[in-house]
Amino acid sequence: MTDPFDLFDDWYAEARQSEINDSNAMALATADERGRPSVRMVLLKGHGPDGFIFYTNFEGRKAGELLDNPHAALLFHWKSLRRQVRIEGPVGRVDDATADAYFATRSRDSQLGAWASDQSRPLASRDLFMARYEEAATRFEGGPVPRPPHWSGFRVKPQRIEFWQDREHRLHERHLFTRHGEDWDEGMLYP
């Protein structure tokens, strides 16, 4: 039986070679408490059997939806390989040590940007945003930029992972892995 995480690692490694940029970009679908969906791109910043991690502002729209309704779907589409991977499951917050460690690897500009952005809120002018950025730069001048309390990561723990591969004559191949406890069932789907 194939391990879905090994298969993901193989496809991801190939995508890193062949995609022109952002092979770690994935669409993240969430739904509000009434079940209305929304979707946007985020970047995969860690993955393994415990889940797929991305980082964001916890006061923005996606975080609000995930805190109300902690389930998500992720989608990779690697055009250069004619492949997609769909991942679905419950969502939790990464621990502070994990978020701190990742935040510390970001460029200083991105770290300051995390302080300056009121993600998903209306912005009156670009100048206001730049002023907030400069304010953060002055505040932390001469020292490290700490992780803002409203900035952290979510981890999607997959219950379902589907690998789709383009094949000739539109006879595409779909492999579905479904989690049962710590085990996975493997099957195929009609395209």
Ligand X SMILES: Cc1cc2nc3c(=O)[nH]c(=O)nc-3n(C[C@H](O)[C@H](O)[C@H](O)COP(=O)(O)O)c2cc1C
Positions annotated as catalytic residues are 170
Q: What are the residue ranges of helices labelled H in the chain?
A: 4-18, 61-68, 96-105, 108-116, 126-139
Question: Six-digit token pair at 188?
Answer: 């195929």
Pairing of strands 151-156, 51-57: antiparallel
Question: Six-digit token pair at 155?
Answer: 């981890």
Q: Does 42 bind ligand X (CB under 6 A)?
A: yes
Residue (of 78, 73, 72) closest to 24 by Cα position = 78
Residue from 5, 7, 25, 159 binding ligand X (CB under 6 A): 25
Helix, strand or coil, per DSSP, at residue 79:
helix
Site string for ligand X, 130-169 (x = CB under 6 A): ----------------------------------------
Size of the site for ligand X (CB under 6 A): 16
3 or 96: CB nearest ligand X:
96
Q: Does 51 bind ligand X (CB under 6 A)?
A: no
Residues that bind ligand X (CB under 6 A): 22, 25, 38, 40-43, 54-57, 60-62, 119-120
